[in-house]
Structure 1
Amino acid sequence: MGYTRSLAAGLLACVAVAATAQTPPPAAAPFTAEGMRAHVAFLSDDLLEGRDLGSIGHEIAARYVATRFEAMGLKPAGDKDDWYQRITFRRTVPGATPGTVTITGPAGEKQWAHATDVLVSIDVRDPNYAIAAPLVFVGYGIEDKVAGINDYRGLDVKGKIVVTLAGYPKGMPSEVGAHLSANKIEAAARHGAIGWLSIATLQAATTRPWAQRIRFANQPSVTWVGPDGKPFDRSYGMKGGAQLNAPVAEAVFAGAPKSLKAVLAEADRAGGRPKGFALKTSARVTQSATMTRVTSPNVAAVLPGADPALAGQYVVLSAHLDHIGVSPAKPDDTAETDRINNGALDNAAGIATMLEVARAAAEATDRPRRSILFLALTGEEKGLLGADYFARHPTVPAAGIVGNVNLDMPILLYPFTDVVAFGADHSTLGPLVANAVAPMGLALAPDPMPEESIFVRSDHYMFVKQGVPAVFLATGFANGGGEHWGKFLSGNYHNRGDDMQQPIDWEAGARFAEANYRITRAMADADTVPLWYRGDYFGDVFAADRPKAAIPAK
C-alpha cells in the first residue's frame, strides 16, 4: 500500500462505530485458514525478493496468480486472450550531478543542491532540464469548478514559475482536498506556468517534517508508457519544480508585499486561503537524471456472468501484487542481513483474499449474474500505476465496468468484528457492503481516519477517476483493531518485519475472504449497478452524465 508512516499516530486514537443492515447475499463456499496461508506463504517467500516492479520476483508472483486463475477455469482477460496485460514503465532516478534551485531577488542570489533544503523533481520527458523565470505566489494553487475555487483569478503566470502552499485549506473535506492537491500541477500547466515550487504550511511541516521528506530524496520516479510509446506525463508539460524547506521559502518571499510568516499564519486558520501575488524574486531550477525502461504485468481473469442481459457488465475485485523489493545495504550490514521486504500483509494477503474469492465464485453452483473481473495489479507502490494504466486502457469494454472493490493490506492480526469500506459514503456501495457482511455478524464502520484521505490513496481511486463507484475494504478498528493497525504501521509496514513470522490470524484471513465473496456476489447479482449519490463531489466530477442515487435518510 502507498501509505506513509504519518498514519500511525492518528490510528491509535481511533475507535470504529458499528452500522449494520439486513438482506443476506448468497452463501459462500468454504473458506479456510490453510487456503489463505498457502497463498501468502508463496507470495511472501524470500525467493520472490519482495516482488518489486519489473523484478523476476514479481514475474514469478504474476505466474502464480495466472496459474491459479487457469486452474479455477476462469477466462483470460489480459491482452489478446492472455492472462497478462503487459505494461512498459519508464524509471527515472537522479543523476550523479545533483539538481539545484537558485533564488535571485532583493537579498541577492543563493543556490541550494538537491537533498539539502530543496527536493528537485524529475521530469519524465526530459531527464536533464533547466528552467528559469520570475515567481508568482498562487496560494494553494487550486482551481476547481465543482468546488468553486480559483486561486489563479487575477494572476498572470504564463511563462512563470508558480509558488504554492502544500496541501489544501483547513476545514475542507479531506478526500476532496487530497484530490484537489494532487491536481495542482495540472492547474498550473493550464495557466501556462513552466514550473512550480512548493512550500509546506505550518501543519504540513509538523505532520511530515523535512527530515522525513529528505529520506526519500533519491527515490526513482516511475510512470507508465502508453501504446503510442509516450510516457504518461503527470506534469502535463511543465518541466519541473521543487519542494522547499523553510530557509529557501524565506528567500523566495524576500521583498514580497506580504511576508511568508503572515501567509503561513493565514493558512493555519480554519478556511484560510491566502490570495496570490507576484513575488520580487526569480528562480532557476536544474536537474539531471538517468532513465531506464522495465516491463511488468497486470494479471486479469474473468468469470463470465450467467445472465445474458447483464453479462456485459463487470464488477471488479482488485488487489496489488507488487511490493517494495530489497532495501539498499547499510554500512553495518553483513552477508547474513535480511534486506528483503516480503510484503506478507502488504499485499500478499490482499491477493490471497482475491484468489480465494475467485475460487469460491468459480465453484459456486449459482453463477453470478454479472461478470466478475479479478485483477492483480502492478506498480501500486510506485504511484498506483498498474491500476491507472488498466483504468485508462481496460481489456474489457470500459462502459461495462460498473463497480470496484479493492483489497490492499488487510491487517489480519486479530479477530476483527467490523470492516471499513473507505469511500462508502460516496455511493450505493456503502449499504451494499453493510448488507453483505451483516449475516456474518460484521458491522460496517465509518472511516476511522478521515484526515488521512485513504479513499484517494489506493488502486480503486484510478477507477473512481474513470467514473466507476469504488470502495477500498479493510479490517476495522473494533476489538483492538485500532491498536493492531497502529502497531503495524509504526513497525512492520514497508519493512522486513512484514513476513510470515508475524502472528497472522489465518482464521481472520478466511473470514475476510468470505466477507469479500459476499460483497462481490452482492454487486454481481444486484438488480441495479452501483450508483454515485446525487451531489457527491466525486460523482459530479468524474461521472457527471451518469445516473445518480438519492442519499439515504439517516
Structure 2
Amino acid sequence: MRTLLPLLALLATPALAKPDADTRAWLARTAELSSDAMEGRDAGSPGHARGIDLVETWFKAARLQPAGENGSFRQTVPLHEVRVTSADMRVVALDGSAASLKFLHDVTPRPATDLPATLSGAMRFAGYCSKAEAGPELSGKIAVCYGTRRSGRAAAAERLAAVTAAGAIALLTIDDGAFTIEPPRWPDAYARSVAHEGTALPTGLPQFRVNGAALSLLIAGSQRLAAAILTDAGLHRDLESFDIPGRFEARLTTAQRSFTSQQLIGLLPGTDPARASEFLLLGAHIDGYGFGEPVNGDGLYNGTLDDAGYVALLSQLATRRKGKGFARPLLFAAWTAEEKGLLGARWWLKQPTVPKAQIAGVINLDQLRPLFPLKALTLHGLGQNTLADTAKSVAEGLKIEIRPDREPERNLIRRVDSWPFMEAGIPAVNFIFAYNPRTEEERIYRDWYNRRYHRPQDDISTPMDLQAAQDFNLFYYTLVETAANAAARPVMKAGQ
C-alpha cells in the first residue's frame, strides 16, 4: 500500500485530472519498477535482478527481439567494489579530549584499495590548496582544503596534486556550501567505489569529504571561526593558511568483492533494408542506490525519477509499437551501474552486442523531472550533432523551447549514459526540464534536488505534473519516430 496510495493520489492530482491511458500506463510501470519490492535496484542486488526480470517481461510482451548476449535480452557486466564498511573518526585536542565525527554525516572517506586501517596526523588548513598555498608546511601533515567548485581557484585535480607534491599524508576537502546551484547534501548513502572487473579501483593519498558543518570541530582551538572561513570562501576571497592544534584520527574498515550485474538490450527491427545497419539506440538506466544511510528514518532509495520512470518510458514506447518497426532498427537498452560511473553503457561500448559503427545515434533518458509544466528543455548535444538538430525541430513543433545548458558548472552532460557515446564520436542527446531563474519552477526543482535527488524520498509520492509527463512522453515518441524514419543518418558536426 505504500506504493498504491501515492499512485492513486497522483492520478487525482489537479495537474492532470484525467491523464490519458498512455500516461496512466507509464505511471503504473514507474510505480511498479520503483516499488519497495525492487529495493532500490542497486547494481548486482536481488532487487536489481527483480527489476531486470520485470523489464524483460515488458520487452517480451512488446514483441522486441533479444539483442543481448548468447541470443538473450541480457548482457552481464563484471564489476569489482571496494567499500568502507565502518569508520571511527575524531579530532583529538592537545589536552587529550576528543570530538567524534560521524561517518557519512560529517566525514566520508573515499573508498580505495589501499586505504589505511588507521590514520593519525596533525592538520594544516591550506585555503583552496592551490600550488601556491600548498607549501612545505604540509609535509607530514593532513591537508585541510576548501573544495570550491567554481572557476578561478584550485579545482579537485590541482588540489590533490598540490598537497601530494607538498608531502601531505591525507586530504580533507571541505564541501563548497556556496555552490548554490547544486549544494552539497548529507548524509552520503554509503562509501563505495565500483569499477569494471580488471580495472583499477582508486588508490593513492587517503581522501575524505567533509561536511562544512563539521569544520568547527576540525579547527577547534585554532582561534579561527569556521563561519568566517566558510563566508570568505563563499565570497571567493583569499583564505589564510594555519596549523590546526588538534590531530585527526581514523580507524577504517574496508571490504572488497567481485560481482556481476545485468542489463537488457532489446531490438525492434527496421523496415528499410537499406538502413538495416543504422541502429537508433534508446537508453535509460535501471539501477539505483538500493539501501543506504537513512534519511528521515527511511533507508530505501527507490529511484522513481532516477531512473525507473524512464526505463518505464522505454518499455511504454515498445508496447505502443507492438512489434511494428520504423525505417531504422531500434535498440532498447536498460543500462546497469550508471550510478557507479556509467559502467553499464561503458561496458557495452567495450563489448557491443551489435557493431559499434552501426549505432547511428543515441537518445538517452535521464535527469528528467516532470515537476512543473513543460515549456523548455535543456538539450545535451546541442550544436554537436544533427540528431540534436532533429530534437530541436521536433520540440519547437510541439511549442517546447530548446536551450543549451545554462549551468555548465554542474557538469551534467558527463554524468549520464549518453556521455560515453559522445566521447566515442557517436551522435547522442539527453534532456533536462528547464526553468527560468527566480521562478516557481526553479524553486520546485531546487527543492526536489535538495530533498529527493539520490535520496529515499525519490519515490512514487513525489508530486508530479502529469500533464508535463504526458507532454514529454509525446515529445519523446515523436522524436524517436522522426529520427528513425529520417532520410539522412545522424552525424557529428565539424570540430566536435
Q: How does 1:322-361 map to 2 (within 5 A)?
A: 322-326=287-291, 340-360=300-320
Residue 221 (structure 1) aligned with residue 179 (structure 2): no
Aligned twin of 2:401: 443
Aligned twin of 1:98: 88
Aligned twin of 1:119: 107
The alpha-carbon distance between structure 1 residues 220 and 137, as it changes in their structure 2 partners (threshold 3 A), is closer
Amino acid of the structure 2 residue aligned with 1:243: R
Q: How does 1:155-554 map to 2 (within 5 A)?
A: 165-170=146-151, 181=156, 196-200=171-175, 203=178, 208=183, 212-213=185-186, 215-216=187-188, 219-226=190-197, 228=198, 230=199, 232-233=200-201, 235=202, 237-244=203-210, 245-247=214-216, 287-305=252-270, 311-326=276-291, 340-360=300-320, 363-364=323-324, 366-368=326-328, 371-401=329-359, 403-424=361-382, 427-447=385-405, 449-450=407-408, 452-477=410-435, 481-494=441-454, 498-501=458-461, 504-506=464-466, 508-524=468-484, 525=486, 527-531=488-492, 547-548=494-495
> How many Å separate the matches in 1 of 2:253 and 2:99?
15
> How many Å separate the matches in 2 of 1:467 and 1:102?
52
CA contact (8 A) 1:102 1:285 kept: no
Q: How far did 1:530 drift?
A: 3.8
Q: Find the residue that maps to 2:431 and give its secondary structure.
A: strand
Q: TM-score w.r.t. structure 2 length?
A: 0.71
Match of 2:29 among 17, 25, 39: 39
The alpha-carbon distance between structure 1 residues 407 and 193, as it changes in their structure 2 partners (threshold 3 A), is farther
Q: What's the CA shift string for 1:98-149, capped at 9, x where partnerless? A: 256889xxx999987653797252444246445789999998679xxxxxxx
CA contact (8 A) 1:199 1:249 kept: no
Aligned twin of 1:26: none
Aligned twin of 1:25: none
What are structure 2's unaligned runs of at least 5 residues?
1-19
Q: How far did 1:531 drift?
A: 1.9
The alpha-carbon distance between structure 1 residues 191 and 497, as it changes in their structure 2 partners (threshold 3 A), is closer
Q: What's the CA shift string for 1:512-532, capped at 9, x where partnerless? A: 223123333444436243425
CA contact (8 A) 1:298 1:376 kept: yes
Q: How far did 1:186 drift?
A: 8.5
Q: Find the residue that maps to 1:456 and give its secondary structure.
A: helix
CA contact (8 A) 1:170 1:268 kept: no
> How many Å separate the matches in 2 of 1:109 and 1:59?
50
> How many Å separate the matches in 2 of 1:275 and 1:340?
42
The alpha-carbon distance between structure 1 residues 262 and 37, as it changes in their structure 2 partners (threshold 3 A), is closer
Count of matched residue positions in the alignment of Structure 1 and Structure 2 = 470
Aligned twin of 2:17: none
Q: What's the CA shift string for 1:206-245, capped at 9, x where partnerless? A: 9757xx54x22x713130342x4x5x42x3x315222355
Q: How far did 1:327 drift?
A: 6.1
The alpha-carbon distance between structure 1 residues 292 and 470, as it changes in their structure 2 partners (threshold 3 A), is same
Aligned twin of 1:53: 43
What are structure 1's unaligned runs of at least 5 residues?
1-29, 143-149, 255-259, 533-546, 550-554
> How many Å separate the matches in 2 of 1:493 and 1:282?
35
> How many Å separate the matches in 2 of 1:530 and 1:445?
20
> How many Å separate the matches in 1 of 2:54 and 2:86?
38
Q: How far did 1:312 drift?
A: 3.9
RMSD of aligned Cα (Å): 5.1
Amino acid of the structure 2 residue aligned with 1:353: L
Amino acid of the structure 1 residue aligned with 2:268: L
Q: How far did 1:446 drift?
A: 4.3
> How many Å separate the matches in 2 of 1:124 and 1:480?
42
> How many Å separate the matches in 2 of 1:186 and 1:517?
47
Aligned twin of 1:65: 55
Q: What's the CA shift string for 1:345-369, capped at 9, x where partnerless? A: 332211122223334566445422x
Amino acid of the structure 2 residue aligned with 1:344: T
Q: How far did 1:492 drift?
A: 4.9
> How many Å separate the matches in 1 of 2:24 and 2:161?
48
Amino acid of the structure 2 residue aligned with 1:203: A
The alpha-carbon distance between structure 1 residues 32 and 96, as it changes in their structure 2 partners (threshold 3 A), is closer
The alpha-carbon distance between structure 1 residues 398 and 330, as it changes in their structure 2 partners (threshold 3 A), is closer
Q: How far did 1:191 drift?
A: 11
Q: How far did 1:65 drift?
A: 1.6
CA contact (8 A) 1:124 1:223 kept: no
> How many Å separate the matches in 2 of 1:523 and 1:439?
14
Amino acid of the structure 1 residue aligned with 2:391: V
> How many Å separate the matches in 2 of 1:286 and 1:153?
26
Percent sequence identity over aligned pairs? 25
The alpha-carbon distance between structure 1 residues 419 and 126, as it changes in their structure 2 partners (threshold 3 A), is same
> How many Å separate the matches in 2 of 1:467 and 1:274?
42
Q: How far did 1:277 drift?
A: 13
> How many Å separate the matches in 2 of 1:93 and 1:464?
30
> How many Å separate the matches in 1 of 2:195 and 2:341?
10
> How many Å separate the matches in 2 of 1:183 and 1:468?
31
> How many Å separate the matches in 2 of 1:264 and 1:434?
42
Q: TM-score w.r.t. structure 1 length?
A: 0.65
CA contact (8 A) 2:371 2:464 kept: yes
Q: What's the CA shift string for 1:237-271, capped at 9, x where partnerless? A: 315222355357759999xxxxx99998996667x
> How many Å separate the matches in 2 of 1:273 and 1:527?
54
Aligned twin of 1:4: none
